[in-house]
Structure 1
Amino acid sequence: MGTLGTVLVGLAILVGLAGIVVPVLPGSLLIWAAIGVWAFGTGSVTAWGVFAVCTAIYALTLVVQYLVPGKRLKEAGVPGRAMLAGGVVGIVGFFVIPFVGLFVGFVLGVYAWELNRLRIHDAAWKATKHAMRAAGLSILIELAGGVLSTTVWVVGVVVT
């Protein structure tokens, strides 16, 4: 792969990292796919080794990203349906309120679900805060995986 191709892959990886922090794009998937394109274009054993390591990082990140926050939510007594409600309302909010609608919709969806379930404002708000922390932790885990994959890729580019 030439210099231009490597730069374009690097830009796709940067967009993927941004997509993790501002969840509009499937950030980790974009990073993984860009590294796969680079490995295919480069074709060396080292490039494929980098891709294999990044695939393992991606898979591990996906597992940890759902297990760790999910366990904390379960311990706090926040049901998965509350998170689902937050996600659905967040997606609607994304289209209704530009830029911040996803976050506002998520919070409103979780809060409304929990208020309907618990019937107590303080308990619903406490559950909503747990859900926000879990979502933030999930983003941090995904970001760590993305940065680690990016680092492995940069080392691979330097080596090849």
Structure 2
Amino acid sequence: MGTAQVSLIGAVMLLGLAGVPAPGVPGTLLVWGAVLWWATLEHTSLTWGVLAGATGLLAIAQVIVWLLPSRRIRESGVSRRTVFTATGVAVGAFCVLPVVGAVLGFTGTIYVTERLRLGGHRTAWSATRRVMRSVGGSVLVELLACLVVAGAWLGAVIAG
């Protein structure tokens, strides 16, 4: 495989890593797709081993990402409807003001909804912080898994 093709695979992987914290971007899928692309071109036991390990690790990370926030959000008392509404507002705000709009839209919607439900600034802000921590924790888990996969890929390319 040539340097240009390895560079393109690396660029897709970097795009995936940058897309993990961005809402609506399938960062994990891009990282996995880059490893799949590389493995199907190289056809060695090392490449297939890296692909199998990446598949397993990213699958486990996705399970954790889906389970972790929902449990913590339930504990905070924020309803699923509020989270879904905030997610919809975040997607719309992302289209108006990329990245920053999504964070502001999500956080603002959670705060306003909880302020109306609970009636006070302190309790609403506390609930908003708990939701943001749990969502941020899941993003960090996903990013860490993608970084481990990217590191394994880079190590395999160098060992190559």
Q: What TM-score do the two structures reach when normalised by structure 2?
A: 0.91
Q: Percent identity?
A: 37
Contact 1:32 1:55 in 2 (8 A): yes
CA–CA separation in structure 2 for the residues paired with 1:24 and 1:15: 13
For 1:112 and 1:89, the matched residues in 2 are separated by 12
Q: What are structure 2's unaligned runs of at least 5 residues?
A: none
**62-71 or 114-123: which moved more?**
114-123
Q: Secondary structure at the residue paired with 1:21? A: coil
- Counterpart Cα distance in 1 of 2:118 and 2:81: 13
In 2, Cα distance between equivalents of 1:77 and 1:159: 50
State whether residues 89 and 105 of structure 2, in contact with CA within 8 Å, keep that contact through their aligned partners in structure 1: yes
Match of 2:62 in 1: 62
- How far off its partner does 1:45 sit? 1.9
1:38 equivalent in structure 2: 38
Work out the CA distance in 1 between the residues paired with 2:98 and 2:66: 27
The size of the alignment, in residue pairs, is 160
Determine the structure 2 residue equivalent to 1:141. 141
Structure 1 counterpart SS, 2:20: helix
Kindly indicate whether the alpha-carbon contact (under 8 Å) linking 2:21 and 2:139 is maintained by their aligned counterparts in 1.
yes
- Corresponding residue for 2:16? 16
Aligned positions of 1:4-153 closer than 5 A: 4-23=4-23, 25-153=25-153
CA contact (8 A) 1:111 1:128 kept: yes
Cα separation, 1, equivalents of 2:123 and 2:23: 27
Deviations 1:88-141 (A, max 9, x none): 110111122244111111112212332333333332221111111112111111
User: What TM-score do you get using the length of structure 1 for normalisation?
Assistant: 0.91
SS of 1:142's equivalent in the other structure is helix
Q: Distance in 2 between matches of 1:94 and 1:68?
A: 24
- For the aligned residues, what is the CA RMSD? 1.6
Q: Which moved more, 1:56-65 or 1:104-113?
A: 104-113
- Between 1:24-33 and 1:75-84, the stretch displaced more is 75-84
- The answer for unaligned runs of 5 or more in structure 1 is none
Equivalent AA in structure 1 for residue 2 of structure 2: G
Q: Distance in 2 between matches of 1:99 and 1:53?
A: 31
Cα distance in 2 for partners of 1:116, 1:39 equals 52
Superposition deviation, residue 75 in structure 1: 2.0
Distance in structure 2 (CA, Å) of the matches to 1:127 and 1:120: 11
Task: Report the secondary structure of 1:23's partner residue.
Answer: coil
